[in-house]
Every structure is written in structure tokens, then in C-alpha cells.
Amino acid sequence: MKCKSARWYRVLPAGAACLMLSGCTREQFLVFNPAGPVGKIEMHLVILSMVLIGIVVVPVMLILWYIVHRFRDRPNNRAPYRPEWSENRTLEFIWWGIPIIIIGILAVNTVRDTFRLTRPPEPAGKPLTIHVTSLDWKWLFEYPDQKIATVNYCYIPTGRPIQFVLTADAPMNSFWVPQLGGQEYTMPGMAMRLWLQADKPGTYFGSGANFTGRGYAHMKFDVIATSDPEFSQWAAKVRQTAPALTRSGYTQLVKQSVVGRMSFSSFPPGLFQEIIMREGGMYMKHDISVLDNKA
């Protein structure tokens, strides 16, 4: 009975996994459905690391099953019993060695891509900068070149590297658009740079990933990727039709609330830099270099 149940619990997770996958489509696994080069690099790392750890995990499961089966304490078990056997240099050499090699391979890939992702994705079109501020509980996007601003959604042109410069005027959050690439924190007083790029048009799910209180669960936004001309048309339309974001309007926006999408034809110049400097940016050389890089 015991033996049967031992097998039972090994089969179960696999069965459960199949059951679960049947209810979901591949597109819904956002991390495995990247829409740009950054997401692709990260997905390849995910897959590589899965394969590498599989080399250890799968044999461990099989060996465990085999050993418990073979050396089970039952009458007439004829497997050898050597209670003093406790040293074997060769074996130990093998299982110190294998993890070291695996970790070595993974380490090389990790370091290479860690450095790669701090630069704009290649092949590079003309970069576009978007200033992102996380507020309680909404996302403000400012386009310094287009001089427009949006809340809880943003448009980006496809095929161009987007430099998101992130900060917060509220408790720390995290800016995450899984299909474009991994997240980065938005922090008060810090200007953080995140390069992303969309290669195909579409609407991509984004959300705040770091807990900020009561309205946090509703901090979702959409990133809408369109062709470059369509992006320019959209920006022009916003500039002409939307109201302006004034300083008092911003003060209202900062107050804790959950809102829908908003668009603004302009925003107070220098607002982004001002918030960052006031909340500690003045002590950070890093911030100044990020902000200057743009200018």
C-alpha cells in the first residue's frame, strides 16, 4: 500500500499540471510570449535555466525513487546492507563537480545578459524616452519630446527602443510589462532607466508589481504599440484634443485614488525632474546622470 502511494504522489503533480494547462492558452503565459527583444532575451534565459536545473532535479527524483524502492527495509530484501559505508571520493567528486559545471554555464550567460540589458536593444532605431511616475494608485506617463502626458496607458512606436525613466511620487512600486520585458522599481527620489522595445503592434498588459496599499491591486495599465506614423498621429491628436495637466491638476492626481485612463496635451515643464530632486534625488549622482543623459 505504501509503495503504491509513493508512486501516486509523484504522478499527481504532473497530472495536475496537464489539467491546469488545458484551461489556458499559450498566449496567456505572457513571459513565454514576448513581443520584443528584451522579453526574448529574458525568455531564453528562463528556458536555459529550466533545462540546466532539470539535469539535476530529474535524476534526483529518479534516484530517490530507486533507492527507496531497492533498499526498503522489508523481509527478504537481498540488496546489500553496509551500515559503515560512508565515504567515497569518486562519488563526492562527481556531485560537487556537476553542480559546479552547471552553475558555471548559467553564470556566464547571466553576466553577459545582465550587462546587455542595460544598453538599448539592437538593432537600434531612434530611441524614444518616456518618463514614468507611479502614484497612489495610478501611472503617469510623460513624453518629453511630444510634450504630452497620459495616465494608466501609453502608446509606443514599434521597432524603436524605448527608454523608460522611472520614478515614484508615492511609496515604491514596480513597473512591469511582461511581454516587453522584466520589471524595475519606481522609487521616490530615484531616476531608474529601463530599456524595452516592441517589435509587433499590439496591446500589452502592464501592472504595478510592488505593493503600495489599498488600491494597489487596481494599478494596471496598457502599453499600446503601433507603427511609428500611427504613434505620431496619436500624439498629435492628444496634443490637440486633450486638456492640459496643470500644477494644481498634478496635486489632485497625486492624492490617493483609483482612476481610469486620462490624456493631457501638456504638462508643467520640469515637473519630473523637480519631484525627483525634492524627494532625495539631489543626493544621488546616479539620478543626475540619468536625467542629463536625456538632455
Partner 1 sequence: MPDDTLNVSHFLVTGDPLIYGADVSIVVVSIAIVAVLTYYRKWGWLWREWLTTVDHKKIGIMYMIAALLMLFRGGVDALLMRTQLAFPNMRFLKAEHYNQIFTTHGTIMILFMAMPFIFAMMNIAIPLMIGARDVAFPYLNAISFWMFFFGAMLFNLSFVIGGSPDAGWTSYPPLAESEFNLGPGENYYLLALQISGIGSIATGINFFVTILKMRAPGMTLMRMPLFCWAVLATSVLIIFAFPVLTVALALLLIDRIAGAHFFTMLGGGNPMMYINMFWIWGHPEVYIVVLPAFGIFSEVVATFSGKRIFGYASMVASLMAIAVISYFTWLHHFFTMGAGPGVNSFFALSTMIIAIPTGVKIFNWLATMYNGRVRVTVPMKWALGFIPNFAVGGATGVMLSVAPADYQYHNSYFLIAHFHQTLIGGVVFGMLAGMYYWWPKMFGFLLEERYANWGFWWFNIGFYVCFIPQYLLGFMGMTRRIYTYPTGMGWSTLNLISTIGAFMMGLGFLFIAAGIVYSIFYGERDTTGDPWNGRTLEWSLPSPAPHYNFARIPVVTSRDAWWTMKEERKQGVLPPGRDELRPIHMPKNSGRPFILSLSFFVAGFGLVFHWYILTVIGFAAVAACLLLRSFDYDTDSYIPVDEIKKTEASYGRS
Site for partner 1 in 217-256 (CB under 8 A): 217, 220
Q: Binding marks (x or -) toward partner 1, 184..213, rule CB under 8 A?
A: xx-xxxx-xx-----------x-xxxxxxx
Kindly identify the residues of this chain, within the stretch 163-182, that bind partner 1 according to CB under 8 A.
171-172, 174, 176, 178, 181-182
Contacting range for partner 1; rule: CB under 8 A; set: 103-111, 146-154, 226-234, 263-271: 103-111
Q: Does 99 bind partner 1 (CB under 8 A)?
A: yes
- Distance of alpha carbon 106 from its chain centroid, rounded? 19
**How many residues line the site for partner 1 (CB under 8 A)?**
105
In a 3-state reduction of DSSP, which class is residue 142? strand
What are the Cα distances from residue 151, in Å, to 56, 128, 208?
47, 18, 13
Nearer to partner 1, 6 or 242 (CB): 6
* Per-residue cell: 23: 484551461
Q: Does 84 bind partner 1 (CB under 8 A)?
A: yes
Q: Does 122 bind partner 1 (CB under 8 A)?
A: no
Q: What is the rounded CA–CA span in Å between residue 215 and residue 285?
A: 33
Kindly identify the residues of this chain, within the stretch 250-289, that bind partner 1 according to CB under 8 A.
278-280, 283
Q: What is the rounded CA–CA span in Å between residue 72 and residue 2?
A: 11
Q: How many CA atoms lie within 13 A of 274 on its CB side?
A: 7
176, 208 Cβ separation under 8 angstroms = yes
Binder of partner 1 out of 7, 118, 237, 289 (CB under 8 A) = 118
With a CB cutoff of 8 Å and minimum separation 6, the contacts of 224 are 153, 154, 155, 156, 202, 203, 204
Q: Does 42 bind partner 1 (CB under 8 A)?
A: yes
Q: Which is it for strands 153-157 and 162-168: parallel, antiparallel or unpaired?
A: unpaired
Q: Does 51 bind partner 1 (CB under 8 A)?
A: no
Q: Does 77 bind partner 1 (CB under 8 A)?
A: yes
Nearer to partner 1, 106 or 288 (CB): 106
Shortest distance, position 115 Cβ to partner 1, whole Å: 5
176, 209 Cβ separation under 8 angstroms = yes
